[in-house]
Structure 1
């Protein structure tokens, strides 16, 4: 695991982080405001981390029975272990996002190790920008 010491996210940071400081307006020009509420009545968003896994078929059945879709944040190595569950999410119409290859704490990694976490999960950084 990475080193958590000295890690902080000040509220005035250009890469504001809602879960830490409730920041929704990035200070960097050109970045849109984060979605923090939806004015549409009776709207709910689901996001599920760290899948897929062996319990997901029952979960997908539940979502289908409820007529609901979700966003799944998959770990690349889990997809290798549970490929049919990952394929089902796509075929059922859920949104699938990359959650690194093995879910390591990124800020504690060397640049090479961080790149490996992203490379093998087909992550494409904005503007192809990576910190060297």
Structure 2
């Protein structure tokens, strides 16, 4: 696991704590941010991370450095042996970082079964609207 700066649009108010989305209040999301998140346009800047070779289009979503439970679960399963991605199986199934063990299991399942067909299926389903994005409290 190599840390990198994930490029994103700001969708939350300035001053919102830097925590995983499922720990942030939905009241922190701006009106424009709500639109960007709902349409998944907030993911577009990450194409820069893909071009730089830090991410792939498909792979396990990158986590924050302080998500210790998720890091432990993913480390145990070898999830960090692949590049993180913008979308993947967990995202289209609405599994977010609020359930670290389940997320790590689904990430590992995706990695072990990834094919050209599933790679493009995940991308297409994401563009078509599958998955609701990270949950907010």
TM over 0.5: no
Structure 2 length-normalised TM: 0.26
Larger gyration radius, structure 1 or structure 2: 1
Q: Is the strand fraction higher in 1 or 2?
A: 1
Structure 1 length-normalised TM: 0.27
